[in-house]
Structure 1
């Protein structure tokens, strides 16, 4: 991935695959559900959207972006909400265009925050902290989706119900364990010894080489733990409101197209859609997310044309629109940075004797 031409080639292939999956989405969902839908039927669903509905979706989408600024400002003391909005928008645009956009997003974050005067170390700690928080909520979302499905009254076999409860409890226990280790140094030490003991049980040929932790890594872990202890409410509430507003966007899409299956079912569909965005073969799982969302909605009884239109509409608000918005944010940042660098420094007045 260090070769620029390899990066460009992978990006082109990934974007082409995403476009192909979206182009042939009706055929894909027909293979998944056994039901036929055409682009004309999907277009008819879009034609029914009123400007008031579109405006409401835009407002909720902007609110979700603002909610995530609380995660960033909590992880990086001194960062303003306007800076966090610019940072998030630009990073999302890069991630949405590249199949492995995380590294490019981190590089952009470092460059932008450096321009605002932030030292490198707090930015690295912020990136690590937000990454951990996003990962933990990626685990929590499937648990929430499974739990919603279990209490929805949807007919499920006893075996599926039992497996669902086991999955929910296991996921929540894992998240609680990681959160505890992040919050208390003693818990982190106990967890580290337990992991070392588990690794020691592996055959020697597959056991990772032992390396003493460096001072810099210990300091990085301590700094991250300090941010978590002091600012976990902002990190957590920011993620909850961000994901809650994204779910509300989905509900707006489902209501507007007549595909709303119910409260619990919509939570399960949302959880599935967010998990599918982690598919790295296309940027943000584009095409894969829509197909999986349609399949889940049809399973819950939604009409196929309505479900497909809702999935495409949701993909627009959570993926497509972020690219031009992030481009505008990045352009504004670059323009302001160039303007600031072009302004000559004020001359010092001579000291009177």
Structure 2
């Protein structure tokens, strides 16, 4: 991945795959559901959208971005909310255009925060802390979706119900263990020894060196302990409101297209959509997320044309629109940096006599 031509080739291939999946989405959902839908039918759903609903979606989308600034400001003391909004928008734009775009997003974060005067170590700790909270909530979401379905009375087979309870409780237990390891020294030591014991069971060719995992966990905990101990409330509330507003955005898309399946079902669909965005073959799982979302909505009884339109609309707000918005944020940052550098150079010039 260090070769730029390899990166360019993978990016082009990944974007081409994403475009292909979206282009042939009707055929894909037909294979998944056994039902057929055309782009004409999908377009008719879009034509029904009122400007009031579109405006509401835009407000909810922007509110979700603002909510995430609380995660970034909690993880990096001294960062303002306007800087956090710029940072998130620019990083998302880069990540949305590249496969494995998280690394490029981190590089962009380091460059921007360095320009604002933040030390590298603080930025690394911020990236680790916010990344850990994002990962933990990715585990929590499926559990929340499963529990919502189980408590809603949705008809599921006994095998699926039992598996759902076991799966959700296991995911929640995993999150509790990781959070405890980050907060308490003794819990981190116990988890590190457990990971080393599991690693010793791996084949010799892929087995890490002795105590590698426990040392890595200890270093991670040490780097993030101060943020976790003192700012976990801001991190948690920021993620809760961010994801809550994104779910509300999905509900708006479902209501606007006539695909709303019910409260618990919408939570389950949202959880599935966020998990599918982690698919690495396309940027942010584009195409894969939409197909999975349509399949889940149809399973819950939504009409196929409405479900497909809702999934595409939600993908637009959570992926497509972030690219130009992030480009504008990045352009504004670059312009301000250029002016600051020019002003700094002008101040350093000797005064002629």
Is TM more than 0.5 here? yes
Helix, strand or coil: the match of 1:208? coil
Structure 2 equivalent of residue 181 of structure 1: 181
Do residues 16 (structure 1) and 11 (structure 2) align?
Answer: no
Q: Which runs of 4+ in 1 moved over 6 A?
A: 212-217, 347-350
Unaligned runs of 5+ in 2: none
- State how far apart, in whole Å, the 2-side matches of 1:165 and 1:308 are: 29
Structure 2 equivalent of residue 324 of structure 1: 324
Q: Deviations over 1:260-304 (max 9, x none)?
A: 000000000000000110111110000010010000000000000
Do residues 58 (structure 1) and 23 (structure 2) align?
Answer: no
Do residues 132 (structure 1) and 93 (structure 2) align?
Answer: no
Q: Deviations over 1:96-122 (max 9, x none)?
A: 000111111111100000000000000
- State how far apart, in whole Å, the 1-side matches of 2:194 and 2:283 are: 36
- State how far apart, in whole Å, the 2-side matches of 1:299 and 1:213 are: 42
Preserved contact between residue 67 and residue 242 of structure 2 (Cα < 8 Å): yes
Helix, strand or coil: the match of 1:155? coil
Helix, strand or coil: the match of 1:261? coil
Structure 2 equivalent of residue 256 of structure 1: 256
Structure 1 equivalent of residue 77 of structure 2: 77
Structure 1 equivalent of residue 239 of structure 2: 239
Q: Give 1:148 shift.
A: 1.1
Structure 1 equivalent of residue 36 of structure 2: 36
The 10-residue stretch of structure 1 (188-197 or 303-312) with the greater mean CA deviation from structure 2: 188-197
- State how far apart, in whole Å, the 1-side matches of 2:194 and 2:112 are: 39
Structure 2 equivalent of residue 312 of structure 1: 312
Q: Deviations over 1:90-144 (max 9, x none)?
A: 0000010001111111111000000000000000000011111111001001101
Q: Give 1:324 shift.
A: 0.1
- State how far apart, in whole Å, the 2-side matches of 1:321 and 1:144 are: 27
Do residues 5 (structure 1) and 16 (structure 2) align?
Answer: no
Two-structure CA RMSD over aligned residues (Å): 2.0
The 10-residue stretch of structure 1 (207-216 or 284-293) with the greater mean CA deviation from structure 2: 207-216
- Aligned residue runs from structure 1 range 78-117, under 5 A: 78-117=78-117
- State how far apart, in whole Å, the 2-side matches of 1:166 and 1:319 are: 32
Q: Give 1:194 shift.
A: 2.1
Preserved contact between residue 96 and residue 284 of structure 2 (Cα < 8 Å): yes
Helix, strand or coil: the match of 1:343? helix
Q: Deviations over 1:173-204 (max 9, x none)?
A: 11000001101112111211222233334454
Structure 1 equivalent of residue 224 of structure 2: 224
Q: Give 1:208 shift.
A: 1.8
Q: Deviations over 1:57-81 (max 9, x none)?
A: 0000000000000000000000000
Q: Against the structure 1 CA distance between its residues 156 and 77, is the aligned structure 2 distance closer, same or farther, given a 3 Å change threshold? A: same
Q: Against the structure 1 CA distance between its residues 334 and 191, is the aligned structure 2 distance closer, same or farther, given a 3 Å change threshold? A: same
Q: Give the TM-score of the pair, scaled to structure 1.
A: 0.95
Helix, strand or coil: the match of 2:239? helix
Q: How many pairs align?
A: 350
Q: Give 1:155 shift.
A: 1.0
- State how far apart, in whole Å, the 1-side matches of 2:205 and 2:281 are: 31
Q: Give 1:151 shift.
A: 1.4
